[in-house]
Amino acid sequence: MRYPVNEIFETLQGEGRFTGMPAIFVRLQGCPVGCSWCDTKHTWEQNSEDERPLGDILVKTAATSCWAWATPEAMLATFAERGFNAKLVVITGGEPCMFDLVPLCEALHSAGYSTQIETSGTFEINVPQETVITLSPKVGMKGGYAILDSALERADDIKHPVARERDIEELDALLARCSSDKPVYLQPVSQGKRATKLCITTCIKRNWRLSVQLHKYLGIE
């Protein structure tokens, strides 16, 4: 099994339940969801003319649409060659659940890593049970994809992007479809002041949690 990789890097997880934890990010290429405020639009298209050798991807100094095929074994070799210390691997995108992630996650677990997937909930989630699923639901985006009931049920936590009150209402509608309570994180879109104030107020009122994209405040990847 091989995967289209846009970048691999080590940093601190800046969002959700693992905020502040060292993590290796594996960003996959490809996403049809079409979020207007997406900060990784360069990962949307998997164009053949943008394919590169994996070595070229590893030395990118700017966000580009270039990508490379990589097997789980190649990724693990990359971690070792680059001297990564983190034991949490965050598989993101793009939309990583477009792909069968079982072979990748199993290889990572066998090598002593834990895994977290960040997904929009618009594709079936194929991962081992021990993989942590963070569902960041994307409702009403131009791609026209619906949030799947199966994704809501599999999610270990929900990290919801919030720009306005309507986003809270949409989240309530999604939570009503869940058969059990899940930890909820509200994340202000683009660190906007009004969005941040709304998130803080709602978190206090609902006993939810705030996710502030710490990495952007720190100026790291």
Tens digit of pLDDT for each residue in 75-103? 999 999 999 999 999 999 999 999 999 99
Residue 16, annotated as binding a ligand:
no
Residue 189 within a domain: no
Is there a binding annotation on residue 121? no
Query: Are residues 65 and 42 in contact, defined by beta-carbon separation less than 8 angstroms?
Result: yes
pTM: predicted TM-score of the whole model, two decimal places: 0.91
Per the annotation, does 178 bind a ligand? no
104 is in an annotated binding site: no
- Residue 167 counted as domain residue: no
Annotated ligand binding at 60? The verdict is no
Structure tokens at 173: 């509608």
Helix axes 72-81, 102-110, angle to 10 degrees: 40
Percentage of residues in the chain having pLDDT higher than 70: 95
pLDDT tens sequence across 41-76:
899 999 999 999 999 999 988 899 999 999 999 999
Hey, what's the torsion of the CAs at 124, 140, 180, 132, to 10 degrees? Answer: 50
105-121 pLDDT per residue, tens: 999 999 999 999 999 99
| CATH number of residue 104's parent domain | 3.20.20.70
Q: Give 140's contacts (C-beta < 8 A, 6+ positions apart).
A: 170
Query: By residue range, what is the domain housing residue 145?
Result: 3-159
220 found inside a domain: no
Region class of 144: left (phi > 0), else alpha (psi between -120 and 50), else beta: left
pLDDT band at 38 (very low <50, low <70, confident <90, very high): confident
Q: Consult the annotation and say whether 35 binds a ligand.
A: yes
What whole-number distance in Å separates Cα of residue 66 and Cα of residue 53? 10
| Residue 105 annotated as part of some ligand binding site | no
**Residue 129 assigned ligand-binding role:** no
Across the beta sheet with 132-135, what order do the strands follow? Answer: 68-70, 3-12, 22-28, 88-92, 114-119, 132-135, 157-162, 184-188, 209-210
Residue 183 lies in a domain: no
Residue 40: the pLDDT is 87
Q: What is the pLDDT of residue 219?
A: 62
* Cis check: omega of the bond before 121, within 30 degrees of 0: no
In a domain, 139, yes or no: yes
Number of domains present in the structure of the chain: 1
**Mean per-residue pLDDT over the chain, rounded:** 91
- 136 marked ligand binding residue: yes
Instruction: Say how many Å lie between the first and final Cα of the chain, rounded.
Output: 27
pLDDT of amino acid 142: 67
Is the residue at 140 inside a domain?
A: yes
Query: What is residue 78's predicted lDDT score, i.e. its pLDDT?
Result: 97
In a domain, 206, yes or no: no
Judge whether 31 is annotated as a binding position. Answer: yes
SS (H, E, C) 165-217: HHHHHHHHHHHCCCCCCCCEEEEEHHHCHHHHHHHHHHHHHHCCEECCCHHHH
Beta-carbon contacts of residue 117 (< 8 Å; ≥ 6 apart): 90, 91, 92, 96, 97, 101, 105, 125, 127, 131, 132, 133, 134
Confidence of residue 135 (pLDDT cuts 50, 70, 90): very high
Q: Is residue 111 part of a domain?
A: yes
**Does residue 110 have a known ligand-binding role?**
no
14: its two tokens: 């800046």
